[in-house]
Amino acid sequence: MSDPLGGLEPESGRPQHDEGAQEVAQRPRLPPRPTTWALLIAIGIAFAAELWAGHDLAGDSTLALFRLGALFGPAVRDGDWWRIGAYAFLHIGWLHILMNGYALWVLAPQLELTFGSNLTLGLFAATALAGGAASTAWSFYNEQARFAAGASGGIFGLFGATIGLYLRVRHTLPEPVRRRIFRAFGINLLLNLAIAFSAPVDNAAHLGGLISGVLLSLIAPLPNLPRRPWHLFARGLLIASALTLAAMEGAAVARAVKPKPRTLQGNGATAQVSGLVVPLEPGIAALPGVAQVGIARQAQPIAIVEGEDAVHIGSRTWLRRRLKQENDTDFTQLVAADGQGRLVIELSCRDSFCRGARGDALLEPTARTIH
C-alpha cells in the first residue's frame, strides 16, 4: 500500500535486521543542522536584546517584550502587523527560552534530515505565522488584550510536522517502531494538554501551529520521492513563509529602534501619543501594567495662578500636577485652556521609562499635537 500524498513506498521482502541496518544503527548521530542552529542563535540574540532593553536579568520586562515585538491584539489592530511573526523570537523569562530551546534541539534536526534545511525553516516559519494569526484572531474574538511571546507556535508546528511525517512513512516502519513512536506522540500530547489546562500558555498559538504543521508536512516534498502536483506549491509557500517571517522580524527591529507615534482619539480630543502605548478605548492608550495615557476635552474653564507649576509646550501653557499614587504609581496631569473649556492629558506610570523627565518627554508630543 502506498501513501497517496507522496510518502515512502513499503519495502516488501526486506529483512528487518540486515548488515545495512546494523551499519546504520552503529553510525554516530549527526549534529543539529543549519536551520536548528540558525533558530537557536536567533532566539538567543533576541533574548539578549530583551535583557538589554529591560535593564534586568529576568528577561520578563513587559516594556522590553512589547518594544521588541511581542504579540498584543490591540497593537496588531492599530497596524503592528509584523507582531504576528516577530513574537516567535521572544521569550518571557529564562525557563521559557530554555524549554523552547530544548524542544527545538530535539525536533528540528530530525526534520532537517528528512525534509532538508530550507523546508524545515519554512515549516517553522509558516507554523509560527499560523500560530500568531490564530492567537490574534482568538484575542479579537474574546476581546482579551494579553501579551504572547515565544517560539512555541513554531515548535508545535514542528511537532505537528513530525506527526504528519509519521503518517506518510508509517507503512515502511516495523510494528514495534510504530508502537514506540505512537506511544511517544501520546505522551507528548498528554503532557501538553496538562500544561495547557494548568499554565498560562497561549493555547490558540499552540493549536494553530500544531494543525498547520500536520497539514503542511503532508503536502511538503520529500527528497528522492516521486514528485506530486502540489509539491511546487508547498515548496513556494514554505519559502515565502520564511521570507515573510524574516521581514516581520526586520520590521520589529526597525520599530524597536525608532517607535512610531500612534493616533489617539476620544473624549472630544485627538492627539499623537508614544508608540510604546496602544489605544485600548476612546481617549485611553496604555501598555498594561506599565503606563497609561488619557486625553480629554472638558467644558470647565481653567485659570493658572501665579506660583503654580506651569509649563509652555507648543502654543499652550499647561498647568502641571504630579502625584504619587498607590502601588508605586506616578501620576502626571497637564491641563490647558482651550476656548471656553480645557484640554486634559494624564499619565499614570509604573516604570522608569515614563517617570520624571522621561515622562515629561513622553507627554510633550501629545501636548503639542492635541486638538
pTM for the complete prediction? 0.85
Task: Give pLDDT, residue 145.
Answer: 77
CATH architecture for residues 19-257: Up-down Bundle (1.20)
Helix axes 203-219, 231-257, angle to 10 degrees: 140
Q: Percent of the chain, pLDDT > 90?
A: 58
CATH number of 262-369: 2.60.120
178 backbone dihedrals φ, ψ, rounded to 5°: -60, -40
Task: Give pLDDT, residue 1.
Answer: 33
| Shared fold status for 19-257 and 262-369 | no
Nearest one of 216, 227, 204, 77 to 152, comparing CA atoms: 204
pLDDT digits (tens, 9 = 90+) for 16-66: 444 444 444 455 555 568 999 999 999 999 999 999 998 888 888 999 999
Alpha helices in the chain (DSSP H): 19-26, 34-54, 62-68, 73-77, 83-86, 94-115, 117-142, 152-169, 175-198, 203-219, 231-257, 356-369
Q: Give the separation between CA 47 and CA 179, rounded to whole angstroms.
A: 38
Domain boundaries, the chain: 19-257, 262-369
4-19 in b/e form (b: 16+ CB < 10 A) is ebbbbeeeeeeeeeee
pLDDT digits (tens, 9 = 90+) for 129-143: 999 999 999 998 887
